[in-house]
Amino acid sequence: MGKFIVIEGIDRSGKSTLARNIAIDLQNRGKSVFLTHEPTSYFDSGLDILSKLKREDYMILLAMFIRDRIEHNKYILKSMTEYDFVICDRYSLSSLAYQGVFLKEHFKDQDQFYKWIENVLSISHIESDLTIFIDFNGKSFRQGNGEKRELEIFEENEYLKNVYNIYTEAIKRGIFFNQGRIIGGNGSKEEMLNEAIKEILQIFHIQ
């Protein structure tokens, strides 16, 4: 059975690049890799719902992301029998953090919120063999292609700041994060890949 690796982080954390680079690196080591992502390309059958709905339509979005995941799980499980690794760019923790920003407001007690959302999302969750969280808080400098870019996305986006906070709180609680690893999000693409690969080689006993 192939190993299931999930990559998580806020928008612009470098998640998709890291997922792709890990896939290439593992392939160069002779491993077969199936790279996939959520939302899937079947998410809304081309209706472009993500750009039409608002974040505040969190209940519809939650249901749609769960439905998408249930279908996606069939491909993930099948691919795990065919490949050494299945790498998924976003999974359950994304729904927890992104939809959680609004759902959380309905709970007086934070513990209850985390328990509730974990239960709801467990229905469509496949336990990963490794989840990597890119700890990028949007405030820092990022070295990219030799040029320094300042990404102050929190100042333009209060929402992402809340998403980040829920990610880190869920991770602290160990929700959907067993065998979890946190990768520094402020390094170069190469540094992030090296950090991730080091963990992967160790966890999966690859020479």
Nearer to ligand TYD, 99 or 137 (CB): 99
Nearer to ligand TYD, 85 or 98 (CB): 98
Our CB check for ligand TYD shows the closer of 166 and 200 to be 166
Least spacing, CB of residue 200 vs ligand TYD, in Å = 21
> Cα separation of 194 and 196, whole Å?
5
What does each C-alpha distance from 83 to 29, 32, 42, 144 come to in angstroms?
Answer: 14, 5, 22, 32
**SS3 labels along 114-135:** HHHHHHHHHCCCCCCCEEEEEE
What does the binding site for ligand TYD look like in residue numbers (CB under 6 A)? 11, 16, 38-39, 65, 90, 94-95, 98-99
Least distance in Å: CB of 32 to ligand TYD? 24
Q: Which DSSP helix (H) or strand (E) runs through 110? A: helix 110-122
Rg (CA), the chain: 17
CA separation for the pair 133, 173 (Å, rounded):
14
Of 68 and 84, nearer to ligand TYD (C-beta) is 68
Query: Minimum Å distance from CB 88 to ligand TYD?
Result: 10
- Cα–Cα dist 202/165, whole Å: 29
Query: To the nearest whole angstrom, how small is the minimum distance from the Cβ of residue 59 to ligand TYD?
Result: 12
Round to whole Å and give the CA distance between 53 and 174: 30
Output the smallest distance, CB 98 to ligand TYD, in A: 3
Q: Determine the Cα–Cα distance for residues 118 and 34; give it in Å rounded to an integer.
A: 26
Residue number, nearest CB to ligand TYD: 98
**Cβ closer to ligand TYD: 3 or 72?**
72
Residue number, 18 or 84, with CB nearest to ligand TYD: 18
3-state secondary structure of 112: helix
Give me the least distance between CB of 4 and ligand TYD, in Å please: 16
CA distance 194 to 23: 13
